[in-house]
Amino acid sequence: MKLEYSPFATALRAVAEFAELPDAAVAALHAAATEQHIAAGAQIIFKSDPADSLMVLVAGRLRVSSASAEGRAIAFRVVEPVEVVGEIAALDGGARTADVVAAEESIVHRVPRAAWMGAMKAQPELALATIRLVCRRLRDTTADLERVATQRVPARLAALLLKLAGDYGRPQPDGAVLLPMRLSQTELSMLIASTREAVNKQFAAWREAGLIDIRAGHIVIRKPGALAAEE
């Protein structure tokens, strides 16, 4: 299959860090990739398991999370298409650092770690792109930790909604921004290290003030500028 007609190649190059990869690097990964359909609710990565592959999410939505010793789940991020999952495996081959669950029916292309490592050794551009991806993740994690440590719930929730709007939002004719993913208040509370009750209370206040709305299960940011003032 020519790369220009490969769903895997198209998806991989849609990830910012891999957009300019040479054909040889993409072809090496394409040859090793297998497509996997995942049912909603299925767990595809278990924390502490050996890291044997990386995945490119091409459809659906994944939730990356971890559980404390007391059993409380904390979500690190929601993964939307198109994105790479399990990238740390490409660099150290250690145990998985989090659980990954399909929040809805999803499709991933899985590449064995050995194949990714081989391609990185043969193609320095892939190695540099993978490092840049890990650096992006580290910057995002550092920013999230800083918000949890220094900001109250309204600021953390506003920052999350605006980030999702910037990454995936769909502008509406009235100036609002619709978030295409369906996120429950429980998921949102996990993503900002808070409680569902606190998120519910803040949503009620913002809906009353006309900052946000819910349309067919989707969050709509009606006044992005006003919501940004909550950060």
**How high is the mean pLDDT of the chain?**
90
Could you please state the CATH topology (level 3) that the domain comprising 152-228 is classified under.
Arc Repressor Mutant, subunit A (1.10.10)
Summarised one tens digit per residue, pLDDT across range 61-90 is: 999 988 766 666 677 888 999 999 999 877
Fill in the amino acid letter for 70.
E
Summarised one tens digit per residue, pLDDT across range 102-131 is: 999 999 999 999 999 999 999 999 999 999
Residue 38 has pLDDT above 80, yes or no: yes
Summarised one tens digit per residue, pLDDT across range 157-209 is: 999 999 899 988 999 999 999 998 888 888 898 888 888 999 999 999 999 99
Query: For 65, phi and psi rounded to 5 degrees?
Result: -150, 175
Tell me, yes or no, if the pTM score tops 0.95.
no
- The predicted pLDDT at position 14 comes to 93
Evaluate whether 147 touches 70 at the Cβ level (below 8 Å). no
Q: Kindly indicate the confidence band of residue 5, based on its pLDDT and cuts at 50, 70 and 90.
A: low
> Of 212, 215, 214, 207, which is closest to residue 223 (Cα–Cα)?
212
Boundaries of every domain in the chain: 3-148, 152-228
Q: Which architecture characterizes domain 3-148 according to CATH? A: Sandwich (2.60)
Q: Count CB neighbours of 124 within 10 A.
A: 11
Residue 1 has pLDDT above 60, yes or no: no
- The predicted pLDDT at position 212 comes to 94
Angle of CA points 33, 7, 102, to nearest 5°: 70
